[in-house]
Amino acid sequence: MQNTAIQVRDLQKSYKKLNVLKGVNFSVEQGSIFALLGSNGAGKTTLVKILTTLLKQDGGTAIVNGFDVASQPDHVRQAISLTGQFAAVDEMLTGQENLIMIARLRRLKQPRQVADELLTRFGLIDAANRRASTYSGGMRRRLDLAMSLVGTPPILFLDEPTTGLDPEARIEMWKVVKELADGGITVFLTTQYLDEAEQLADRIAILHEGKIIASGTLAELKQLFPPAQKEYVEKQPTLEEIFLAIIGKKEEH
Ligand SMILES: Nc1ncnc2c1ncn2[C@@H]1O[C@H](COP(=O)(O)OP(=O)(O)OP(=O)(O)O)[C@@H](O)[C@H]1O
Ligand SMILES: [Mg+2]
């Protein structure tokens, strides 16, 4: 029995002279929600692309579901799905047609049945026969997520799943992600939103200037918060305060 879904060691990646990942290390337990937190351009999408075999690293190793992303990409692909930062939905097709298309690509036996089950689960059954171009941002995100669950892969990558959603749609998306994890799926998500990591993640890692500068449970990260703030005993530090404190500390050096 293996219980590590993702193991990343000393991962490095540059785009020409731009050194984006400078030796990234972390691991993700099976069935947990792991949030990679980082600001714009920190390298989150780059890391997701490497873990999902879309991009090759320059150095280090990444093992996903027991397989090496560089040497066994086909095995990795069978175990994962990706909901990218930008929706993969075909606007000209209806919600149902989008799902059927993916089910066919994945060679599932009853594509229509699979599609209808997912439409129901994601509250899209009433909109099943409308073109995706008429969907709201939240509906589109849900369809996108449904599309990545066709064939129920054990590891799900979500690159900024709630960017651009209104507060209601975000909360709804959080609920869906929690349900997926409760069902045993491992969720790796990236986010710029501290409250999202705080709400969802079992473990959080902060990517800053090419490295993981802090990682742990929310409680563990809260302990990193400078003791100077302890006078406000009744007020727990938010993840945002921790994030800024850690980044501030790094930039002083
Ligand atoms: N194909 C590429 N060629 C050159 N530079 C790139 C390429 N892709 C990304 N970069 C640069 O690498 C850095 C990291 O980009 P990346 O997309 O991984 O960041 P991110 O954390 O996902 O940011 P965001 O929160 O804006 O999505 C950025 O400075 C970006 O401009
Ligand atoms: Mg990105």
Q: pLDDT tens digits, residue range 136-170?
A: 888 888 898 889 888 888 999 999 988 877 888 88
Assigned domain for 230 exists: yes
Ligand nearest the Cα of residue 84 is 2
CA of 189 to the centre of ligand 2 (A): 11
Tell me how many degrees the CA angle 119-124-125 measures, rounded to the nearest 5. 70
Q: In this structure, what CATH number is given to the domain that contains residue 219? A: 3.40.50.300
**CB neighbours of 9 closer than 8 A, spacing ≥ 6?**
25, 60, 61, 62
The whole-number pLDDT of residue 1 equals 46
Assigned domain for 136 exists: no
Assigned domain for 145 exists: no
- CB of 15 closer than 6 angstroms to any ligand 1 atom: yes
Q: Whose CA is nearest to atom 3 of ligand 1?
A: 15
Amino acid type, 56? K
- The CA-to-CA distance between both ends of the chain, in Å, stands at 43
What is the extent of the structural domain holding 18? Answer: 4-84+155-252
- CB of 43 closer than 6 angstroms to any ligand 1 atom: yes
pLDDT in tens, the chain (253 residues): 458 999 999 999 999 999 999 999 999 999 999 999 998 899 999 999 999 999 999 999 999 999 999 999 999 998 998 887 767 789 999 999 999 999 998 889 999 999 999 999 888 999 999 999 999 888 888 898 889 888 888 999 999 988 877 888 888 889 889 988 998 999 999 998 888 998 999 999 999 999 999 999 988 888 876 655 555 555 666 777 777 877 776 665 5
Q: Total domain count for the chain?
A: 1
Among 167, 168, 125, 126, residue whose Cα is nearest residue 146: 125
